[in-house]
Amino acid sequence: MNESMCRVQRGSFVYYTCRRIPVRHAFTTKFGGVSTGACESLNLGFNRGDELENVRENYRLLGETLGVDETRMTLTKQIHDTQVSVVTEDKVGMGLHRPMEWQSDAIVTALADTPIIGFYADCVVTLLYDPATHTAGVCHSGWRGMAAGILTKTVDVMAEQLGTKRESLIAVLGPSIRQECFETDADVPEAMEELLGAQVHPFIMEKGPKFHVDLQGIGVKLLQDAGLSAENVIDSGICTMCHSDEFWSHRVTHGVRGVQGGMICL
């Protein structure tokens, strides 16, 4: 685990934060909610076969524990694409208290007291915060989104539409499946090379007929190429598959699972 990361426990509620981000934020774990079965206990996904009232109670508990307004929580709609949406006042609560109108793996905002949340269970959720302009973003990227450049696009949208300063922007790549566990067939590195070119070669390791891809390494490089300074890009260093006792891992559970959230609130 990166030395900038902190594991926090409040009663049964367990989450991770980064010392570099001074505003309210969290990468949640399995623990702290009321769900049962395969989704026990802090499942934040409405599409996991969980009871609706349990998921809603989990969001209430999340807001209560982190001191944020649950009624203003605004969610991503993750389809492994590159859509980035700006959360304005008329979009607040989307996905939780109003119908989902976008298909956005990343959402960004300059609104105060508006928690924005992306979801993970092996994929990389990146939290972004610029102290110079007090703007924030959350970006979900699996290998498809990473290869298609959603991190770069998120930074671009923040800069162009919110006035975010690239030189002061901080990005934290949250708990996610890491290279030693992310085993793939040749189609994944081939697709990533097709989209990103030779720059991905240092992040792909061949082991017999299989390949291991360093999604976090690629993400760090893309963020730096987008204008962030090296010291402002933090890789949490936490593997969801290695720590499946604390996190849901899609690979470990074969998809029978709940989902964690990465949240940031100005």
Please state, for a pLDDT cut of 90, what percent of the chain lies above it: 98
Q: DSSP letters along 141-178, please?
A: E-HHHHHHTHHHHHHHHHHHHH---TTT-EEEE-SB--
Backbone angles phi, psi at 199, to 5 degrees: -65, -15
Quote the pLDDT of residue 180.
97
- Enter the tokens of residue 197: 């070119």
- Enter the tokens of residue 174: 């949250």
Residue 183 clears pLDDT 90, i.e. is over it: yes
Written as one letter, the residue type at 24 is R
- Which residues lie below 8 Å from residue 191, measured CB to CB, with a gap of 6+? 143, 144, 147
Burial zone of 57 (CB within 10 Å; 0-12 exposed, 13-18 middle, 19+ buried):
middle
The average pLDDT across 73-79 equals 97
Q: Tens digits of per-residue pLDDT, 112-131?
A: 999 999 999 999 999 999 99
Q: Are 133 and 119 in contact (CB under 8 A)?
A: no
Quote the pLDDT of residue 260.
99
Quote the pLDDT of residue 195.
86
**Backbone angle region of 264, left / alpha / beta, with phi > 0 → left and psi within -120 to 50 → alpha:** beta
Quote the pLDDT of residue 35.
98
Q: Are 261 and 29 in contact (CB under 8 A)?
A: no
Q: Which H/E stretch holds residue 13?
A: strand 13-18
Quote the pLDDT of residue 2.
97
- Which residues lie below 8 Å from residue 208, measured CB to CB, with a gap of 6+? none
The average pLDDT across 57-69 equals 98
Domains, the chain, ordered by start: 5-265 (3.60.140.10)
The average pLDDT across 101-111 equals 98
Other CB atoms within a 10 A radius of the CB of residue 186 amount to 11
